[in-house]
Structure 1
Amino acid sequence: MSLDAALPAAQPASAILPRRGGTAGALSDVLWRNPRSLLMLMLAPPLLWLGIVYLGSLFALLLQSFFSIDEFSGMIDRQFTLKTYGELLLPSNLDIILRTVTMAALVTLASAVIAFPIAYYAARYARGTWKALFYLGIMLPLWSSYLVKVYAWKLILAKEGILNWLFTKLHLTWLLDAWLALPTVGGNSLSVSATGTFIVFVYVWLPFMILPVQAALERVPVSLTEASSDLGASPGQTFRNVIFPLALPGIVAGSIFTFSLTLGDYIIPQIIGTSRLFIGQAVYAHQGTAGNIPLAAAFTVVPVVIMGFYLWGAKRLGAFDAL
């Protein structure tokens, strides 16, 4: 008996992969033969969501900002005008914009200063269990509710809170009272002051700065710092000329999060801080209470424009490589 006769006869392709009947079968065959069509079909729902819901709402928002409120009837006048944008230049509205941008810049700067040594230790010295504990410690605050953290800080910063108690025990109440007496940053207590708003902003957004900086520092080869030391550079010179320039994209990447999140947040200033409005609060007030949707839309366009220029500058500094 020959070997060919012993082997079973080869089955035709149709017996191995039988064709499915009906419309579903025809569609399945077409998609199997055209993988690009399958990819486009899978990407269509998120792209439609992004294009229609997200970008469409932004376009509608931009469109609303070119309308104005009729001063006599209080109704929206749907004629294109730059009158609403002119209202942003009023002293009261300009003060809101400058206050928000200043707070966002200060929070970003403070977050970078605090995050850098933490990220440097994690990138250079933490290994094994310690690195796992580092990630756990950074990510753990993000697992708790945003509102819970804000209200917890309100209790901490209150006049009867633990921070005030600590200043009393250290006999530093006079220092806290002197700081709260300052006109711009002070108030009756830390929970109703710009200083309290600043502290909570830094706490809430700090993890978003630490992680990109740590990722950027891990990419810095140890051989570069060793070579700098071998060539006679002091630790300060090594930091300024080697470590900091290579870590700068990570700092800028983290600043994208801290700056933009501070710029658009309205919950923290609503719960902790003074009665001075931020951009997010102004948008909420004009859209909900005052019913001035064009001015609310114009206020919303301000962070979009600011972040557009910010992202353009961050891209030129290579920040997206550290994300």
Structure 2
Amino acid sequence: MSAEAMLRPAPAVAILPSRGGIVGALSDLFWRKPGLLLFLMLAPPVLWLGIVYLGSLLALLLQSFFSIDEFSGLINRELTLKTYGELFLPANLDIIIRTVTMAAIVTIASAIIAFPIAYYAARYARGKWKALFYLGIMLPLWSSYLVKIYAWKLILAKEGILTWLFEKLHLMWLIDAWLSIPVVGGNSLSVSATGTFIVFVYVWLPFMVLPIQAALERVPGSLIEASSDLGASPAQTFRNVLFPLALPGVVAGSIFTFSLTLGDYIIPQIIGTSRLFIGQAVYAHQGTAGNIPLAAAFTVVPIVVMGFYLWGAKRMGAFDAL
């Protein structure tokens, strides 16, 4: 054998020897049938989604077609639309309108506040300032949900820091005038619809800022410059160029703010008046009143509203900005 042949590396083995035992047999089986491996990996989450989530949702939907016997107070398990008819009673319809209206107002206010913040982060923040921006937006999400609500209850209370500040500025008359308005007012900001609105906007604002910021980062700076070069004013550039391109991000953020406000019952329970929201009505009928069919019917309302909302959001391309 020549020296060149001795120095030539041995050819690599094309096929590794099979491993013995159960592990080797399973490895060979999954290699021959990759579909089986995919099925085994997806089976647990699919079963969880199908049984726990969709199963409970279907059970809830089924219970909404039951009714309460007026004499015995027991659930009548015959399918009927009587419970859905109760949703159109003035008291229940008032709860639905109040909740949807609050969700819409909170969504609009969050978008107005979030847009300039997101625009600055997308266009001007760089390096450590962008990291500081993300930290400032995400930091409130790291604290306890209840702690934030109770902190705002102390801030908005009649003896709270906000009242103290307005007294120092001699503007207490402004708060008193606002609280005297029947629908939005109350004894103090902590027991008024205005206080509920303020806390809703504070808690859900990060969910609006981040999708808008992601959408604005996709807008090329050259388009803004071209609009200015063509003689457009800043207002025209915003209306015709920037806002239409950022609209999917706004709609994406509104999915979070609208749906979370629609189903929340803790904030109105702690901060607000005695007027119920859908979440509070569900809690009351499910627990105190024992009227499970009506509680289930109330729960279907946000599902239907969000179904139409998501359908419209998808048509506007909002899912691309999530």
TM-score range, shorter chain: over 0.9
Structure 2 CA distance for aligned equivalents of residues 11 and 276 of structure 1: 77
SS in 2 for 1:275: coil
Q: Any residues of structure 2 matched to 1:207-218 within 5 Å, and which?
A: 207-218=206-217
Q: Is the alpha carbon distance of 1:32 and 1:89 closer, same or farther for their aligned partners in structure 2, counting shifts above 3 Å?
A: same
Corresponding position: 1:156 with 2:155:
yes
The corresponding residue for 1:317 is 316
- Residue 136 of structure 1 corresponds to 135
Give the residue type in structure 2 aligned to 1:166: L
Deviations 1:264-307 (A, max 9, x none): 00000000000000000000000010010000000000000000
Separation in 2 of the partners of 1:5 and 1:219? 60
Question: Post-superposition shift, 1:9?
Answer: 7.6
Change (3 A) 1:8 1:128: closer
Q: Name the CA distance, whole Å, in 2 between partners of 1:7 and 1:251.
A: 65
CA shift, 1:308, in A, is 0.2
Once the two structures are superposed, residues 135-187 of structure 1 have per-residue CA deviations (whole angstroms, 9 ceiling, x without a partner) of 00000000000000000000000000000000100000001000001100000
Unaligned runs of 5+ in 2: none
What's the CA shift string for 1:96-150, capped at 9, x where partnerless? 0000000000000000000000001111111111111000000000000000000
For 2:102 and 2:311, locate their aligned partners in 1 and report how far apart those are by CA, in whole Å.
Answer: 21
Q: What is the TM-score when the length of structure 1 is the normalising length? A: 0.96
Structure 1: gaps spanning 5 or more residues: none
Report the TM-score, using the length of structure 2 for normalisation: 0.96
Partner of 1:285: 284
Matched, 1:126 2:125: yes
What SS is found at the alignment partner of 2:79? coil
How far apart are 1:11 and its partner, in Å? 8.9
Q: Does structure 1 conserve the Cα–Cα contact (< 8 Å) formed by 2:111 and 2:208?
A: yes
| Residue aligning to 2:36 | 37
Q: Which amino acid aligns with 1:175?
A: L
Quick check: 2:18–2:24 contact (8 Å CA) kept in 1? Answer: no
8 Å Cα contact 2:179-2:185 kept in structure 1: yes
Q: CA deviation at 1:19?
A: 3.1
What residue in structure 2 maps to residue 93 of structure 1?
Answer: 92
Q: Distance in 1 between matches of 2:107 and 2:17?
A: 60
Q: Distance in 1 between matches of 2:231 and 2:18?
A: 74
- What residue is the counterpart of 2:255 in the other structure? 256
The 5 A counterparts of 1:172-211 are 172-211=171-210
* Residue 65 (1) aligns with residue 64 (2): yes
Matched to 1:187, the amino acid is: G
Identity %: 84
Tell me what 1:76 maps to: 75
SS in 2 for 1:71: coil
The answer for the alignment partner of 1:231 in structure 2 is 230
For the residues of structure 2 that align with 1:147 and 1:46, how far apart are their CA atoms? 30
CA–CA distance in structure 1, aligned partners of residues 13 and 99 of structure 2: 72
Distance 1:19 1:222 in 2: 57
Q: 1 CA distance for matches of 2:5 and 2:34?
A: 38
1:19 equivalent in alignment to 2:22: no
Partner of 2:52: 53
For residues 17 and 70 of structure 2, the distance between their equivalents in structure 1, rounded to whole angstroms, comes to 73
Offset of residue 35 of structure 1: 2.1
Question: Structure 1 pair 70/220, CA: closer, same or farther in 2 (3 Å)?
Answer: same
Cα distance, 1:30 vs structure 2: 0.7
Equivalent position amino acid for 1:204 in 2: V
Q: How far apart, CA to CA, are the structure 2 residues paired with 1:219 and 1:5? A: 60
Distance, in Å, in 2 between the alignment partners of 1:12 and 1:160 is 81
1:39 Cα deviation after fit: 1.7
| Secondary structure class of the residue paired with 1:304 | helix
Task: Give how far 1:32 is off.
Answer: 2.1
Aligned length: 321
Mark the CA change 1:129 to 1:12 in structure 2 (over 3 Å): closer, same or farther.
Answer: closer
d(CA) in 1 for partners of 2:66 and 2:5?
84
Q: Please state whether the residue corresponding to 1:211 is helix, strand or coil.
A: helix
Correspondence for 2:275: 276
Q: Aligned equivalents of 1:51 and 1:153: distance in 2? A: 39
Alpha-carbon distance in structure 1 between the residues aligned to 2:241 and 2:312: 21
CA distance in 2, matches of 1:12, 1:103: 69
